[in-house]
Amino acid sequence: MKIVIVGGVAGGATTAARLRRLNEKAEIILVERGNFISFANCGLPYYIGNVIKNKKDLLVQTPENFNSRFNIEVRVKQEVIKINRQEKNVLIKNIETNEEYEESYDKLVLSPGASPINPFKNLNSDKIRTLRNVEDSIEIKEYIEENNAENVAIIGGGYIGVELAENLSHFNNVKATIIEKASHLIAPLDEDMSKFVYKVLANNGVNIILNNGVKEIINKNDKLNIELEDKNIDADFVVLCIGVKPEDDLAKQAGLKVYPKGGIEVNEKMQTDDEDIYALGDAVKIKNCVTGEMSSIPLAGPANKQARVVANNICNIYTSYDGSIGSSILKIFNYNLGITGINEEACKRNNIKYKTIILSPFSHATYYPGASMLTIKAIYEEETGIILGAQVFGKDGVDKITDILATAIQTNMTAYDLEELDLCYAPPFSSAKSPVNLLGNSIVNQIEGLVETITWQEVEKITDKNTLVLDVRTDEEYISGSYKNAIHIPLDDLRERLNELDKSKTYLVYCKTGLRSYIACRILSQNGFKVQNITGGYHFYSIISFIHEV
């Protein structure tokens, strides 16, 4: 059997290695248009910021090592430019010599990846770049160092844009500005949780411009003048991090099924509508496990899993790929952000009846040194308590909590299941009641009617004079800052001061994180008062109301 693989990195190289482990006799040819077949593209911003100091550390496998270990023929700087399905061959162009030749196949695997979106291709300037591969990261780093670039504009506030902004801060003279057309950074985040990212970046000197698309970029006096929707700014250098689009041109040319908005169509075996052609990675659309929607999820984790499925099925080991929930994690200076499952926008788009809850537990037992506060926003199905999505922010334990919740989402677990999870505990690592257990408790309390919650966004919209906000924090906390016009009664004084409250009114109760206010709600509701607990507490309010002038 002869297998030709188009493209390396997570999808193609992993497929090739798995194929060889399953079939020692197969002829396997990997064709890659770049210089490297397998590199850590997630590490590119960190190479630019000199966190990863040696570019060789980005290379997972060299062509020579890959060939010697797996007996796979690797052809770099060569590009497949046409698929002839009837003849079962591909036309390959040698990029260095322009020579073209045909290569036959029994099975063909398409792993061309995705290309960065660049609406400014007509601008002939070495001051504007995209970041896709090792060569790009080398050129960006060298340009900034050699030209003493001081003002770098990053167009696009997604994962790569945020990571790049942090890494540019490692240059003493560089000021980074993120320009984002949407209303918030990191599209998979809900807007309220995105404020945490905004605040950390702003506090570390990153300029942020939101709700402002780029209309035009022009060369002007050795600078790049960026025309936005409502102002102009100058930059010494621009990196485009607008997003990526699936590389599906080969598939289109071959008449394979492609989605109208891009992305090769595959079945559960990662097989195209041609049984001898498979596709995977950033070039395909896959099912979102929560909503069932077909979507592009350009992440290394799904690509690696898909590679195993492709290789297995080529070798007649039936394996299915059932989709992804898009779990991801991001480092932002001294903080971390984890995202898994779907956000509120996806719930609304798919008419899912959902509720949200926000907790701010500590990463481990507070009596053990080094405990830090986490903020967890969970989205769950209103009637069943099934966990649909989660967003976790903090300094420590973010990866652990996000991974547990990702497992819960992928296995269709409910809040009742989270309550029962038997998780590791010792003071340096967690609390006797894990943040995940606490999350389950809090959701179950809502489902069973022990407390009704309200978000700060909903509080801000209330105009009814019979609805009042009650602060149950300590005197010291209240003096340091409070919600406007809030009534203040510390929790420990509440039972003795119930006569100060009016049972004809509704009280929206908050503390710092939501725990004491829950206790207050239980006291008040059992004494005949109408109450709602403000989810997230004052800690969350102080973040989502954060304003930073840039």
Could you give the residue numbers annotated as active site? 42
Mapped onto helix, strand or coil, the DSSP state of residue 28 is strand
Rg (CA), the chain: 27
Is the separation of the CB atoms in 345 and 352 below 8 Å?
no
Contacts of residue 547, Cβ cutoff 8 Å, sequence gap at least 6: none
| E strand map for 85-149 | 89-94, 100-104, 107-110, 114-116, 128-130
| E strand map for 282-404 | 286-287, 294-295, 328-332, 335-341, 354-359, 375-381, 387-394
Q: Please give the Cα distance from 403 to 340 (Å, whole number).
A: 8
Q: What are the φ and ψ backbone dihedral angles of 107, each rounded to 5 degrees? A: -130, 140
CA 465 to chain centre: 41
Question: What totals of helices (H) and strands (E) does the chain contain, helices first?
Answer: 16, 32
Is the separation of the CB atoms in 202 and 251 below 8 Å?
no
Q: Of 367, 486, 488, nearest to 432 (Cα)?
A: 367
Q: Which two tokens stand for residue 185?
A: 């950074």
